[in-house]
Amino acid sequence: MKTAIANKAWFHDSDLRLDASYHLSETVQIKHLFKISPYKFTVLSQQASDIFSGNIFKRIYVKDRNRGLPYLTGSDIIKSDIDSGKYISKKQANSLQRLILKEGWILVTCSGTLGNVVYADKLFEGRIATHDLIRIIPNNKDVNNGFLYAYLASRYGFALLTHSSYGGVVKHIEPHHIKSLPIPIFPIEKQKQIQDLIIQSIELRVDANRLLIEAEELFERGNNLSYETQLLLRTENIYGNGASVKVSNKLVQTLKARHYSLRAQSIINKWNAVAGKPIHAWVTEEGLTRGMGGFFKRIDGTKMNGMDIISQSDIHDRRPSYKKVRKSYIKETELAKTGMIIMPAAGTLGENEVFLRPELVYLNFEGKVLSEVVGKLRSKSLAEAAYLFVALKSKPGFRILRTLVYGTNLLYPRWDLIKDINIPCKDEQLLKSVSNLVICAYEKRSVAKAKENQAIQLVEKEIDQWQN
């Protein structure tokens, strides 16, 4: 239960409201706190050259990346890997120049999940994003862009960004709702400290992304698999439009047409022609037999007696917001450990869906509880885990995974088929080179996350002190 001792001035400021829920709301409490701030305040509209979203438009998608611009939804911008696999026609993009992102902008999700804040780095430059995204173009007038981002990403900024939301099932906020958002003007030295941390974090994230791309290219080039990548860039449907399949004397495990996609079979045949070993030879017995975690009793926990639980959406989120579950019902086998590859194991086949998109556990999720619908493969070493991750993350590997599923509206992986996928590995030197790139990338990501969190905590700590 939340309680507070009311000041008579509160009632005057609130037009004589007497309901406790209003006066105990986080936004109202923040406004009271700001009144005793030792610093001057400005508003967001004065610290930005423009704040806008965009008009609703009909999207014309293309499959050939050479004919389109990468397209981002509100959920894409908060992922650690922002490549959605969707492209808007360049012809259409010519009339949507205002929606094309620029480096240095601050992006705020404004529909559905509200208030997620992202700093647009070099990876965002030139991509076209949904109209359901508020763009803030900082002018560095009284506060620098790094501090402004950290402030808006803090719990104080989040509360103020979302308090004017409207709508029923799907909540929204509009640019004009946040133009008067109050911003404390920290001393220049404090702002510079926060700015430096944010810039360092951004540079590390960009470097990490570059290393992961390099690792994937090396995997394909080293195993002579460039053919598959070019095949996937063609405009035909990846799952095929129909074909006859000759039944061999081997046991028929499934009659799903998707499993016999001619393009997928072409990729598999090419992979099988390269020296390597099946997935079940890369993983431990536990990693092979469990596949997806068993169901367990879930009771909400607190900070004192709870453990963070990883949901499907948390896996690819830059700054996941974990729920807590009580420790007493959690087994050791339900925990994420270094060397695991985890992936959402229930979903649909949409191009921008996270279903079966793998993630490596290294300096990120260790010790956290895995939800029942998180699939996992545990490799025998970190180096092998990093290599296997790149293979499954690559465009051919991801397409193979998505053919080996079952279900109707909601799909699940066929682990009994996935375990036999051949993972090409020409030699040990290639494995070492690819894994080194991946491990280095994840170490950079870890440092980047720590620096960003430190910057946000500096903002929150400074404001927290005003209460004392």
405-442 pLDDT, tens digit each: 988 889 999 998 899 999 999 999 999 999 999 999 99
**Whole-angstrom distance, CA of residue 303 vs CA of residue 324:** 7
- Please compute Rg for the chain using Cα positions: 25
**Whole-angstrom distance, CA of residue 292 vs CA of residue 92:** 42
Q: What pLDDT, on a 0 to 100 scale, did the predictor assign at position 231?
A: 66
Whether residue 136 sits in one domain with residue 215 = no
Closest Cα partner for 138 from 42, 39, 40, 45? 45
Q: What pLDDT, on a 0 to 100 scale, did the predictor assign at position 21?
A: 55
Tens of pLDDT, residues 319-340 = 898 888 888 878 888 899 999 9
Whether residue 21 sits in one domain with residue 71 = no
Least confident among 5-9, 10-14, 185-189: 10-14
Least confident among 22-31, 130-139, 363-372: 22-31
Pair of tokens at residue 54: 């965009």
Q: H or E segment at 116?
A: strand 113-119
Is 465 a member of any domain?
A: no
- Assign 300 to helix, strand or coil: strand
Give yes or no for a contact between 379 and 339, defined as CB atoms under 8 angstroms apart. yes
- Assign 434 to helix, strand or coil: helix
Pair of tokens at residue 174: 């509009």
Look at 292 and 5; give whichever has higher pLDDT.
5
Q: What pLDDT, on a 0 to 100 scale, did the predictor assign at position 141?
A: 96
Whether residue 116 sits in one domain with residue 20 = no
CATH, residue 224:
3.90.220.20
Whether residue 393 sits in one domain with residue 345 = yes
pLDDT at 260 over 60: yes
Least confident among 57-61, 98-102, 153-157, 341-345: 57-61
State which amino acid sits at residue 394: S
Q: What pLDDT, on a 0 to 100 scale, did the predictor assign at position 289?
A: 45
Q: What pLDDT, on a 0 to 100 scale, did the predictor assign at position 235?
A: 40
Whether residue 22 sits in one domain with residue 45 = no
Percentage of the residues of the chain whose pLDDT score is greater than 70: 84
Tens of pLDDT, residues 126-138 = 999 999 999 999 9
Instruction: Determine whether 423 is exposed, middle or buried from the number of CB atoms within 10 Å of its CB (0-12, 13-18, 19+).
Output: buried
Tens of pLDDT, residues 370-404 = 998 899 999 989 999 999 999 999 989 998 999 88
Pair of tokens at residue 116: 């997620």
Mean pLDDT of 130-157: 97
Pair of tokens at residue 29: 């409490």
Whether residue 123 sits in one domain with residue 9 = no
Mean pLDDT of 45-61: 92
Q: What pLDDT, on a 0 to 100 scale, did the predictor assign at position 63?
A: 81
Tens of pLDDT, residues 201-252 = 999 999 999 999 999 999 999 999 886 666 665 544 444 455 566 655 444 5
Contacts of 42 by beta carbon, 8 Å cutoff, 6+ apart: 141, 142, 143, 182, 183, 185
Any idea what DSSP says for residue 66? G
pLDDT at 154 over 60: yes
Q: What pLDDT, on a 0 to 100 scale, did the predictor assign at position 291?
A: 46
Tens of pLDDT, residues 87-114 = 999 989 888 999 999 999 999 999 988 9
Number of folded domains that form the chain? 3
Residues of the domain holding 3: 1-32
Q: What pLDDT, on a 0 to 100 scale, did the predictor assign at position 15?
A: 53
Each residue of 326-339: b (16+ CB within 10 Å) or e? eeeebeeebbbbbb
Is 377 a member of any domain?
A: yes
Whether residue 42 sits in one domain with residue 28 = no
**Whole-angstrom distance, CA of residue 369 vs CA of residue 331:** 9
**Whole-angstrom distance, CA of residue 171 vs CA of residue 136:** 20
CB atoms within 10 A of CB 467: 9
68, β-bridge pairs: 89
**At CA 247, angle to CA 245 and CA 248, rounded to 5?**
130
Whether residue 312 sits in one domain with residue 383 = yes
The position carrying tokens 């394909």 is 220
- What is the model's pTM? 0.90
Is 176 a member of any domain?
A: yes
Whether residue 434 sits in one domain with residue 375 = yes
Whether residue 276 sits in one domain with residue 131 = no
